[in-house]
Amino acid sequence: MRAPLVNTSPMMTRINVTPIIDVALVLVIILLITAPMLSVADLEVDLPAAHSRDVEEQGFISVTLSTTGEIAIDETVLTGIDMVRSTLAARIAERDGDEAMVVIRADAGLPHALVRQVLEEARLSGATHLGIATRQEGGRG
């Protein structure tokens, strides 16, 4: 006898949702893993390039603050903070104005209010490139 040509199996009347649930759970897991990585604001920013090697090569103006509050610009020791602006303005004018880099070297135990005040004086003297010297930690250096 021959097999009947008509399909006699029962018709599937429901949608199989198991594959849809599997895909949804995988997407939720991916979202949970990647969400902490997206903590940076979604703003388009052109970050500045670091030029630490260039600064070493071209020289810079060094402002040193000691623990006793003494201030020196390069090798010149100043008598007070009121002389910082005029002395820095003269040094910046000597070194091509806009290209002059001013590096603040402050003792770690110094109150940050004094460092902030010197940074403000440097800005008012015309310094556009400011930096703060730090000590390298770790085995490299």
Q: What is the pLDDT of residue 65?
A: 84
Q: Which CATH architecture has domain 58-132?
A: 2-Layer Sandwich (3.30)
10 Å CB burial of residue 45 (0-12, 13-18, 19+) is exposed
Report the side by side order of strands in the sheet with 129-132.
76-78, 71-73, 61-65, 101-106, 129-132
Q: Is the confidence at residue 141, as pLDDT, over 50?
A: no
- Taking the CB of residue 65, how many other CB atoms lie within 10 A of it? 20
Q: What is the pLDDT of residue 80?
A: 79
Q: Rounded to whole angstroms, how far apart are CA atoms 116 and 73?
A: 16
User: What pTM was computed for the model?
Assistant: 0.55
Helix (H) / strand (E) element for 22: namely helix 18-34
> Would you kindly state where each structural domain of the chain is located, as residue ranges?
58-132
Range from 6-20, 35-49, 60-74 carrying the lowest mean pLDDT: 35-49
